[in-house]
Amino acid sequence: MNLNHYQGQHQTQSPMTSAHIAQTMTLLYMTSTELLQTIDVELAKNPALELVNERRCPMCGRKLPPQGPCPICSQPKTMDPDETIIFVSPRDDFYSYSGSGTTYRDEDHEDPFSSTNLDLPTYVLRQVAPELEADEREIAAMILTNLDEDGFLDVEMREICRFHHTTPGKVEAVLHKIQRCDPLGVSARNIEEALLAQVDFLSQSSEVPEFTRRLIADDFERLEKRQYSELAKIYNTSVQTIQQAARFISENLNPFPSRTNWGSFRQPNDNTPEVFHQPDILIYYLDNKPGNPLIIEIITPSRGTLRLNPLFKKALKEQQGENQEEWKKDIDKASLLIKCIQQRNNTMRQLMERLVSIQKSFIIHGDVHLEPLTRAQIAEELEVHESTISRAVANKTVQLPNKKIIPMAMFFDRSLAIRALMRDIIENENSAMNDTDIRKQLQAHGISVARRTVAKYRAMEGILPAHLRRIEKFATA
DNA sequence: CTATGGCACGGATT
DNA sequence: AATCCGTGCCATAG
CA(A453)–C1'(C8) in Å?
Answer: 11
Residue A172 has pLDDT above 80, yes or no: yes
CA(A50)–C1'(C1) in Å?
Answer: 41
As ranges, strand C nucleotides with an atom below 7 A of a protein CB are 5-9, 14
> How far is A52 from A31, CA to CA, in rounded Å?
23
CA(A268)–C1'(C3) in Å?
Answer: 12
Region of poorest pLDDT, from A147-161, A219-233, A266-280, A455-469: A266-280
Residue A5 has pLDDT above 50, yes or no: no
In this structure, what are the phi and psi dihedrals at residue A262, rounded to the nearest 5 degrees? Answer: -120, -35
Residue A143 has pLDDT above 90, yes or no: no
A387, closest nucleotide (Cα–C1'): B14
**Peptide bond between residue A130 and the one before it cis (omega within 30 degrees of 0):** no
> How far is A84 from A359, CA to CA, in rounded Å?
12
Closest residue to B2 (CA to C1') is A434
Stretch A62-83: mean pLDDT? 86
A275-299 pLDDT tens trace: 444 678 989 998 888 889 999 999 8
Q: Check residue A226 and give its pLDDT.
A: 67
Q: Which of A93, A257, A88, A271 lies closest to A185, judged by CA?
A: A257
Q: Check residue A245 and give its pLDDT.
A: 84
Closest residue to C14 (CA to C1') is A467
Region of poorest pLDDT, from A9-23, A170-184, A287-301: A9-23
A414, closest nucleotide (Cα–C1'): C5
Residue A109 has pLDDT above 80, yes or no: no
In this structure, what are the phi and psi dihedrals at residue A237, rounded to the nearest 5 degrees? Answer: -145, 180
CB-based contact A393:A412 (threshold 8 Å) = yes
Q: Check residue A378 and give its pLDDT.
A: 94
CA(A394)–C1'(B11) in Å?
Answer: 23
Identify residue A290 by its one-letter amino acid code. Answer: P
CA(A407)–C1'(B13) in Å?
Answer: 18
Region of poorest pLDDT, from A5-9, A259-263, A344-348: A5-9
Region of poorest pLDDT, from A89-98, A161-170, A186-195, A432-441: A89-98
A451, closest nucleotide (Cα–C1'): C7
CB-based contact A342:A91 (threshold 8 Å) = no
Q: Concatenated DSSP letters for A287-341? A: GG-BTBPEEEEEEEE-SSEEEE-HHHHHHHHH---TTHHHHHHHHHHHHHHHHHH
Using a 7 Å CB cut-off, which residues contact strand B? Answer: A 374-376, 386, 390, 412, 434-436, 451-452, 455, 458-459, 465-467
> How far is A185 from A183, CA to CA, in rounded Å?
6
Stretch A330-352: mean pLDDT? 92
Q: Check residue A404 and give its pLDDT.
A: 72
Using a 7 Å CB cut-off, which residues contact strand C? Answer: A 413-415, 448-453, 456, 467
Region of poorest pLDDT, from A87-101, A277-291, A391-405: A87-101
What pLDDT band is residue A114 in, cutting at 50, 70 and 90?
Answer: very low
Residue A184 has pLDDT above 70, yes or no: yes
A455, closest nucleotide (Cα–C1'): B4
Closest residue to C13 (CA to C1') is A467
Stretch A158-176: mean pLDDT? 85
CA(A376)–C1'(B14) in Å?
Answer: 8
CA(A453)–C1'(C3) in Å?
Answer: 19
Region of poorest pLDDT, from A125-129, A241-245, A373-377, A444-448: A125-129
**pTM for this prediction:** 0.64
CA atoms within 13 A on the CB side of A475: 2
Which residues are within 8 A (CB) of A254 and not within 5 positions of it... i.e. 6 or more apart? Answer: A102, A103, A184, A185, A194, A198, A260, A275, A277
What pLDDT band is residue A453 in, cutting at 50, 70 and 90?
Answer: very high
CA(A455)–C1'(B6) in Å?
Answer: 12
Q: Check residue A361 and give its pLDDT.
A: 93
Q: Concatenated DSSP letters for A185-253? A: TTT-SSHHHHHHHHHHHHHHHS---TTHHHHHHH-HHHHHTT-HHHHHHHHTS-HHHHHHHHHHHHHH-
A457, closest nucleotide (Cα–C1'): C6
> How far is A2 from A59, CA to CA, in rounded Å?
8
A269, closest nucleotide (Cα–C1'): C3
CA separation (Å) from A130 to A177, A180, A186, A265?
Answer: 11, 14, 18, 32
A450, closest nucleotide (Cα–C1'): C7
pLDDT: which is higher, A123 or A84: A84
Mean pLDDT of chain A: 79
Q: If you compute the radius of gyration of chain A from its CA atoms, what whole number of angstroms results?
A: 26
A409, closest nucleotide (Cα–C1'): B14
CA(A419)–C1'(C3) in Å?
Answer: 22
Please name the residue ranges forming H helices in A31-119: 32-45, 114-117
CA separation (Å) from A58 to A5, A42, A129, A195, A215?
Answer: 13, 19, 40, 38, 46
CA(A348)–C1'(B5) in Å?
Answer: 41
What pLDDT band is residue A376 in, cutting at 50, 70 and 90?
Answer: very high
Q: For chain A, which domains are there?
A: 5-98+278-410 (no CATH), 120-259 (1.10.10.1330), 416-476 (1.10.10)
A208-260 pLDDT tens trace: 888 889 988 988 878 776 677 788 888 888 878 887 888 777 667 777 776 65
CA(A242)–C1'(C12) in Å?
Answer: 26
Residue A37 has pLDDT above 90, yes or no: no
> How far is A465 from A477, CA to CA, in rounded Å?
17
Q: Check residue A93 and give its pLDDT.
A: 53
Q: Check residue A16 and give its pLDDT.
A: 61
A454, closest nucleotide (Cα–C1'): C6
What pLDDT band is residue A92 in, cutting at 50, 70 and 90?
Answer: low
CA(A274)–C1'(C14) in Å?
Answer: 35
What pLDDT band is residue A115 in, cutting at 50, 70 and 90?
Answer: very low
What pLDDT band is residue A475 in, cutting at 50, 70 and 90?
Answer: low
As ranges, strand B nucleotides with an atom below 7 A of a protein CB are 2-7, 13-14
Identify residue A402 by its one-letter amino acid code. Answer: N
What pLDDT band is residue A95 in, cutting at 50, 70 and 90?
Answer: very low
